[in-house]
């Protein structure tokens, strides 16, 4: 690269990356500091993380200066298959840590395929959606797009690593940006609401909520709005009253199944052959089926510690000394930081190890305690700046594959930040995923470095070839 070519590099993204990585090491050093032990000692987390940072910088340089960007489209599918096989293999021969069997042990080092699978999935999504013949109006294309996301999710669930699986749902935002029907996102949000309502209340209460939503939609789309408003108000009121009456489980199940059947018949009669009626009907039937499957998902799919964390989050269980201990201590640490924090290396919660995993999944509580509200907002502002910059840069891309890959990169970072910070401040269950570029660990740092710098390389090559 000559001097002019260097200017074509995305120095904003590179600068934000360096700030996050360096600030991350500073907080890892503070959270795991050992008096009298060298900064470069490999027996410490801060010493080992220097190795991860050095090798990450080498990977970034290698991507920028040695690998042509054209290679990524040709290796997308083989790379996806490779990491899919590794995800399957690790479920059988991996090392189990904190109830999750998602790591390969390579001597003193550990490798987590799920982190790198986000990279291979992003590349394949970009190549698939970037193809000239792809369209979300074609069922075959929709099936392929769904399979690309669902396969790694299923394989990761085999490892009992639910947190990493949730990140893949962020790719739906990319699909939406590229033409996917927005109703899918609405249905996803509705499913989350029904899941929570079913756990807190009962299936009958969840069906009541679902019926209310369907009635609102029916009122909006029907010409006889006054009639649907009267029927809806009466039915939902009756449902709410019935769901509060103590009754045997079989009666509760009967109510949950009978009312939907009556409403389904009403939708058929009211809208007859209209498309909106069919859509509301199918949405309602699918919603009821989902409500009836919540208990199975909750008891059979989720692990004991995951159920316990969800119960603590929803207020079903109060256990500040058990499963809620991490979040309880994290909130104490962040709250004690106040406006400007206690100062670097002065965090008592941090230095006395009150918060487990404080250099990995709970690194944000170290930021909150030592740097305070100002520092926490500053870190979130840097993440926001990076995500918005990637989205703005992707939007300017002429090449469709580069644009979609840029959105995938932004969505991965966004989902990790939302989930990690959310669980640290008690807004989400503790599901154990790292904070990009800040948390301790080679797999996470390498994977996000590769993810980001591949996009920077794609962007650079298109700039110099214009």
Residue 57, pLDDT score: 95
- The pTM of this model reads 0.83
How many Cβ atoms sit within 10 Å of the Cβ of residue 58? 11
Residue 5, pLDDT score: 63
Query: Model confidence over 374-412: pLDDT tens digits?
Result: 999 999 999 999 999 999 999 998 889 999 999 999 999
Report the distance separating Cα 430 and Cα 413, nearest Å.
18
pLDDT at 276 over 60: yes
Q: What is the DSSP string of 38-87?
A: -TT-TTSHHHHHHHHHHHHHHHHHHHHHHS-TTHHHHHHHHHHHHHHHHH
Closest Cα partner for 184 from 172, 199, 198?
A: 172
How many Cβ atoms sit within 10 Å of the Cβ of residue 274? 13
Instruction: Give, for 96, the enclosing helix (H) or strand (E).
Output: strand 95-97
- φ, ψ of residue 130 to 5 degrees: the values are -80, -10
> Which one of 94-98, 124-128, 297-301 scores highest in mean pLDDT?
124-128
Q: Are 209 and 194 in contact (CB under 8 A)?
A: yes
Chain center to CA of 88? 21
Residue 413, pLDDT score: 95
User: 460: which residues sit within 8 A by CB, 6+ positions away?
Assistant: 8, 9, 10, 64, 69
Report the distance separating Cα 402 and Cα 191, nearest Å.
32
Chain center to CA of 327? 19
Closest Cα partner for 434 from 426, 425, 83, 443?
A: 443
| Structure tokens, 457 | 């390389």
End-to-end CA distance of the chain: 16
How many Cβ atoms sit within 10 Å of the Cβ of residue 436? 26
Q: Are 280 and 271 in contact (CB under 8 A)?
A: yes
Mean pLDDT of 428-436: 81
Instruction: Output the average pLDDT for the chain.
Output: 80
**Coil, strand, or helix at residue 136?**
coil
Mean pLDDT of 47-61: 93
Report the distance separating Cα 75 and Cα 92, nearest Å.
26
Closest Cα partner for 153 from 144, 141, 162, 145?
A: 162
pLDDT at 104 over 70: yes
Query: Model confidence over 201-212: pLDDT tens digits?
Result: 777 778 777 777
pLDDT at 195 over 70: yes
Residue 404, pLDDT score: 95
Rounded to whole angstroms, what are the CA distances from 315 to 199, 311, 319, 419, 452?
Answer: 11, 6, 10, 19, 38
User: 458: which residues sit within 8 A by CB, 6+ positions away?
Assistant: 69, 72, 399, 401, 402, 405, 406
pLDDT at 87 over 80: yes
For the chain, give every domain's residue range: 3-182+324-464, 201-302
Report the distance separating Cα 306 and Cα 312, nearest Å.
10
């Amino acid at each position: 690269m000559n001097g002019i070519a260097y200017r074509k590099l995305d120095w904003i993204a590179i600068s934000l990356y360096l700030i996050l990585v360096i600030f991350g090491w500073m907080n890892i050093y503070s959270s795991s500091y050992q008096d009298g032990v060298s900064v470069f000692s490999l027996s410490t987390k801060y010493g080992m993380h220097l190795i991860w940072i050095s090798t990450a910088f080498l990977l970034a340089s290698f991507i920028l200066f040695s690998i042509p960007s054209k290679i990524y489209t040709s290796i997308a599918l083989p790379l996806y298959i490779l990491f899919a096989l590794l995800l399957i293999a690790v479920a059988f021969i991996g090392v189990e840590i904190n109830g999750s069997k998602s790591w390969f042990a390579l001597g003193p080092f550990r490798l987590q395929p799920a982190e790198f699978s986000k990279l291979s999935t992003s590349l394949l999504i970009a190549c698939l959606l970037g193809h000239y013949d792809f369209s979300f109006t074609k069922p075959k294309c929709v099936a392929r797009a769904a399979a690309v996301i669902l396969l790694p999710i299923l394989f990761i669930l085999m490892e009992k690593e639910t947190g990493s699986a949730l990140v893949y749902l962020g790719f739906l935002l990319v699909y939406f940006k590229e033409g996917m029907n927005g109703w899918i996102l609405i249905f996803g949000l509705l499913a989350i609401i029904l899941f929570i309502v079913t756990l807190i209340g009962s299936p009958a209460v969840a069906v009541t909520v679902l019926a209310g939503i369907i009635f609102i939609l029916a009122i909006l789309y029907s010409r006889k709005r006054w009639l649907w408003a009267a029927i809806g108000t009466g039915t939902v009121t009756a449902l709410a009253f019935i769901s509060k009456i103590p009754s045997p489980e079989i009666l509760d199940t009967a109510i949950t199944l009978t009312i939907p059947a009556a409403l389904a018949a009403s939708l058929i009669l009211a809208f007859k052959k209209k498309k909106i009626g069919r859509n509301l009907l199918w949405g309602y039937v699918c919603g009821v089926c989902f409500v009836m499957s919540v208990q199975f998902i909750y008891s059979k799919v989720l692990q004991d510690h995951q159920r316990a964390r969800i119960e603590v989050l929803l207020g079903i269980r109060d256990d500040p000394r058990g499963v809620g201990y991490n979040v309880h201590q994290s909130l104490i640490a962040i709250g004690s930081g106040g406006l400007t924090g206690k100062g670097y290396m002065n965090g008592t919660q941090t230095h006395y190890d009150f918060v487990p995993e404080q250099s990995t999944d709970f690194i944000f509580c170290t930021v909150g305690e030592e740097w305070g509200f100002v520092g926490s907002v500053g870190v979130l502002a840097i993440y926001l700046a990076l995500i918005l910059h990637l989205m703005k840069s992707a939007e300017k891309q002429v090449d469709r594959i580069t644009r979609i890959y840029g959105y995938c990169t932004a969505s991965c970072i966004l989902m990790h930040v939302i989930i990690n910070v959310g669980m640290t401040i008690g807004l989400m269950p503790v599901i154990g995923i790292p904070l990009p570029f800040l948390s301790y660990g080679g797999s996470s740092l390498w994977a996000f470095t590769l993810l980001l710098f591949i996009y920077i390389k794609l962007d650079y090559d298109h700039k110099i070839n214009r």
